[in-house]
Amino acid sequence: QQQVKQSPQSLIVQKGGISIINCAYENTAFDYFPWYQQFPGKGPALLIAIRPDVSEKKEGRFTISFNKSAKQFSLHIMDSQPGDSATYFCAAGLTGNQFYFGTGTSLTVIP
C-alpha cells in the first residue's frame, strides 16, 4: 500500500505564478511531514517541514498547508522563479523512523 500519494506528476508554471503540489498520507500516526527539493544530478535536500500540531508553516516563498482531518498536505511556492525548477518530493513518517516518499513532482517555471 502506497503510504504517500503525490500529485501532479509534472507542473508547468509561469514566472511569478503560484505552484501547488499536493500529497495525501495513510497513517494517522505520522508526525513529521517534510518536503524535499531535488535538482538534476543532486540528492534530495530538505526544503521545509511541518508537524501535525500546526496547519501552516511558511518559510520565505514556500508554504506548507496541512489538513490533519483530511490527511492531506500541500506545498505552495509563491512568486515562482525559474530557479525553482526542480523535482519536489513530499514525505511522511514517524520521528525516529523511516520516511515514506511521494513519487515526486517535476516543476518547470517558464521565464
Partner 1 sequence: DAGVIQSPRHEVTEMGQEVTLRCKPISGHDYLFWYRQTMMRGLELLIYFNNNVPIDDSGMPEDRFSAKMPNASFSTLKIQPSEPRDSAVYFCASRSTGDYYGYTFGSGTRLTVV
Provide the binding-site residues for partner 1, judged by CB under 8 A. 32, 34, 36, 41-46, 49, 51, 89, 91, 95-96, 98-104
* Residue 90: φ, ψ to 5°: -90, 160
Closer residue to partner 1 in complex, CB, 26/81: 26
Min dist CB 96 to partner 1, Å, is 6
CA distances from 85 to 14, 40, 42, 106, 108 (A): 11, 10, 13, 8, 5
Closer residue to partner 1 in complex, CB, 77/90: 90
Min dist CB 14 to partner 1, Å, is 26
* Length reported for the chain: 111
Closer residue to partner 1 in complex, CB, 66/102: 102
Min dist CB 109 to partner 1, Å, is 21
Min dist CB 110 to partner 1, Å, is 22
- Give the H or E element holding residue 37: strand 33-38
Among the listed residues 92, 97, 106, 90, the one whose alpha carbon sits nearest the alpha carbon of residue 19: 106
Closer residue to partner 1 in complex, CB, 20/49: 49
Cβ atoms of residues 35 and 75 within 8 Å: yes
